[in-house]
Amino acid sequence: MSDQKNYGMSTKALHCGWKCDPTTGASALPIYATSAYQFKSTEQATKLFNLEEGGYLYSRLSNPTVCAFEEGLNAMEGGVGCLATSSGQAAFNHLICALCSSGDNLVVSRQVYGGTLTLLQNVFSRFGISTKLVDGNHPCQFEAAIDDNTRGIITETIGNPVMNVAPLEALAKIANRTGVPLIVDNTFASPTLCRPIEWGANVIVHSTTKYISGNGNLLGGAVIDGGNFDWSKFSNKFPTLAKPDPAYHGITFTEHFGKSALYAKLHAAIIRDLGGCPSAFDGYLLHVSLATLTLRMEKHSKNALEVAKFLESHPAVEWVSYPGLDSHPQAYLAKEYLKDGCGGMMAFSVKGGVEAGRKLLDNLELIGHMANLGDSRTLIIHPASTTHSQLSTEQRMAAGIDDGLLRLSVGIEDIKDILEDLSTGLDAATKK
Ligand SMILES: Cc1ncc(COP(=O)(O)O)c(C=O)c1O
């Protein structure tokens, strides 16, 4: 099916990327558990290796099961191509390796996921790629930090875990004016609720481990090329895309692949070299999950709004941050960018700080206490002592993650059961 058609999100999720098996007619996507593919001739083998012909040659670069998922997700995000990776961390890792070299820098919202900050500040810094952290709610700070060596602006649609909503259009204007791509991690919203490319973003990153899988049964990531950044206009900034590639007999990706230069580079070169590819089995699971993403996000959003209202009115709760509440500082941005719902994630704090928070977590029965989110089951975690514990106290505080903050990922169970469990936990938290 043509992914260019103007289908709605649910139709794209169900139909894009896979129709039926061309040889057997099987309607379900096969798991192509193969490392390599039989060449038709020596001539074809040479052409495939020289990028003169498209096709499969080795599953580290591409695999038909994984490709079906990539095409579906790409259609939903509205890009020109998607690279699936073995985790969300691998997605960032591969993207940065595609765009940056030693001496370059990235301007990054300090409210992004702690693991992204650790990767940038502890790993890429050792290879001469530096990070300039700014407050993700203030576009002028991004603009002030951009210099001649900046190769990207990074934000999350909804920040993990502080739940700030990114000023996407303002950031896109700055990115456009200064000649750097706007890179948006869309994990918390998923393409069902927000499609940042429509608001001017150039590259989308996902941890598909989360809502896109929805079952907590795999690790995965993805990079989607918006096809709307003219790399050739800035060939000195992006030589990996706009100058001859010695590892591919001197082809220039922007000349050879036009708007899809980044996508082609990621698939043909970066994942070939770094190797963070997903298995065919994970590609299959992701393809199956994608089909129900729209439905699930609807229920996550509906349940989360009820939970947020419940927490906001509960006497044991200090504060709640959910973009669907009028009290949220960027509720006006949520009304613009998250018209179909704000997803299942929220942050809150219990009166009595860390100790009260601990009691809440220890007294939950239904809600899982674990380091994941976006699962169909409701999950909770204390970021300061877990997901963000690698950051210094100053970095955490600057990102808005205070000691008592709890991150709640509201699932799609019956709402009464989620509220009952929270209620029991809150009672225990406030008991003297
Ligand atoms: C917003 C966001 N981006 C990226 C990642 C990294 O993804 P993964 O755990 O799949 O490597 C996470 C993980 O929690 C995340 O929350």
Q: Does the structure show a pLDDT above 90 at 99?
A: yes
221 Cα nearest atom in ligand 1? 10
pLDDT digits (tens, 9 = 90+) for 333-351: 999 999 999 999 999 999 9
Place of tokens 């129900």: 292
Percent of the chain with pLDDT over 70: 99
In eight-state DSSP terms, residue 325 is S
Nearest CA to ligand 1 atom 6: 88
Kindly indicate the confidence band of residue 4, based on its pLDDT and cuts at 50, 70 and 90.
Answer: low
Do the beta carbons of residue 56 and residue 37 sit within 8 Å? yes
Spell out the alpha helix ranges (H) of 225-352: 239-242, 253-257, 261-265, 271-274, 280-290, 293-312, 331-337
The answer to whether residue 1 is domain-embedded is: no
Mutate to test the pocket of ligand 1, among 85, 86, 87, 89 (most ligand atoms within 8 A of CB): 89
User: Are 307 and 285 members of one domain?
Assistant: no
Which of residues 290, 320, 350 is at a domain's end?
290
Which of residues 290, 312, 341 is at a domain's end?
290
User: Are 263 and 225 members of one domain?
Assistant: yes
Residue 49: its pLDDT value, please? 93
Q: What is the pTM of this model?
A: 0.97
Average the pLDDT over 99-105 and give the result: 98
CA of 91 to the centre of ligand 1 (A): 9
For 387, other C-beta atoms within 10 Å of its C-beta total 20
Q: Does the structure show a pLDDT above 90 at 241?
A: yes
CATH of the domain at 90: 3.40.640.10
The answer to whether residue 3 is domain-embedded is: no
Domain that holds residue 123: 9-290
Of residues 388 and 211, more confidence is placed in 211
92 Cα nearest atom in ligand 1? 4
Q: Does the structure show a pLDDT above 50 at 3?
A: no
The answer to whether residue 2 is domain-embedded is: no
User: Are 258 and 356 members of one domain?
Assistant: no
Q: Decide: 185 in ligand 1 pocket, CB within 6 A.
A: yes
Average the pLDDT over 90-102 and give the result: 98
The answer to whether residue 196 is domain-embedded is: yes
187 Cα nearest atom in ligand 1? 1
Mutate to test the pocket of ligand 1, among 187, 204, 212, 224 (most ligand atoms within 8 A of CB): 187
Average the pLDDT over 233-244 and give the result: 97
372 Cα nearest atom in ligand 1? 14
Residue 324: its pLDDT value, please? 98
Angle between helices 293-312 and 415-430 (to 10 degrees): 30
Nearest CA to ligand 1 atom 10: 88
In eight-state DSSP terms, residue 277 is P
Q: Decide: 155 in ligand 1 pocket, CB within 6 A.
A: no
Range scoring the smallest mean pLDDT among 179-193, 314-328, 391-405: 391-405
Q: Does the structure show a pLDDT above 90 at 389?
A: no
User: Are 384 and 276 members of one domain?
Assistant: no
User: Are 209 and 140 members of one domain?
Assistant: yes
Mutate to test the pocket of ligand 1, among 94, 188, 209 (most ligand atoms within 8 A of CB): 209
The answer to whether residue 371 is domain-embedded is: yes
User: Are 120 and 195 members of one domain?
Assistant: yes
How many domains is the chain partitioned into structurally?
A: 2
User: Are 258 and 320 members of one domain?
Assistant: no
CATH of the domain at 334: 3.90.1150.10
Nearest CA to ligand 1 atom 9: 88
Nearest CA to ligand 1 atom 7: 88
pLDDT digits (tens, 9 = 90+) for 144-171: 999 999 999 999 999 999 999 999 999 9
